[in-house]
Amino acid sequence: MVLLRRVIGDALRARRQGQHRTLREVSTAANVSLGYLSEIERGQKEASSELLAAICDALGARLSELLSEVSDTLSLAEDMDGVLLPVDDNNKKTVTSEGNVSVKVRQESPLKATLHATRKPQRDVVYAA
């Protein structure tokens, strides 16, 4: 089963690391404790919509951008065999990618899967006048 909080945490961590920023920098800018932000990034805590908006603002991103990335990742994961349905093979690993998203799933038991999503860094676009 894919946990939404883990996918959100992966997307937040990817954005922060893509900016070469520390947890401390982002937690200070978002006015959230460093430990709590760390737990959100690791998918251990569910962030409220207000907190997600504050973290996105601290990262210079729109909440809709983050949620779009999360949606793309979930959509890709749902198309993978065994992610949402139980499978018989223990520790089955599956990898798929589309565009700049790569998803790896480790099936730990028939009803438990760990999803790890990675994204290629997005390049800043410069428009000439």
Query: What's the CATH code of the domain at 52?
Result: 1.10.260.40
Residue 125 belongs to some domain of the structure? no
Residue 124 belongs to some domain of the structure? no
Residue 16 belongs to some domain of the structure? yes
- Among 27, 9, 22, which residue's Cα sits nearest to residue 119? 9
The domain total for the chain is 1
Question: Could you tell me the residue range of the domain that residue 89 belongs to?
Answer: 4-119
Residue 69 belongs to some domain of the structure? yes
* pLDDT score, position 112: 56
Residue 126 belongs to some domain of the structure? no
Tell me how far apart the alpha carbons of residues 49 and 8 are, in angstroms, rounded to a whole number: 12
Residue spans of beta strands (DSSP E) within 1-129: 92-98, 101-109, 112-119
Place of tokens 């290629």: 120
Q: Could you tell me the sign of the dihedral formed by the alpha carbons of 108, 114, 116, 117, in that order?
A: positive
* pLDDT score, position 126: 46
Q: What is the pLDDT of residues 28-55, one digit of tens each?
A: 999 999 999 999 999 999 999 999 999 9
When comparing pLDDT for 112 and 22, which is higher?
22
Q: What is the pLDDT of residues 64-114, one digit of tens each?
A: 999 999 998 888 877 776 555 444 444 455 555 666 666 666 666 554 556
Judged against a pLDDT cut of 50, whether residue 127 lies above it is answered with: no
* pLDDT score, position 129: 44
* pLDDT score, position 73: 86
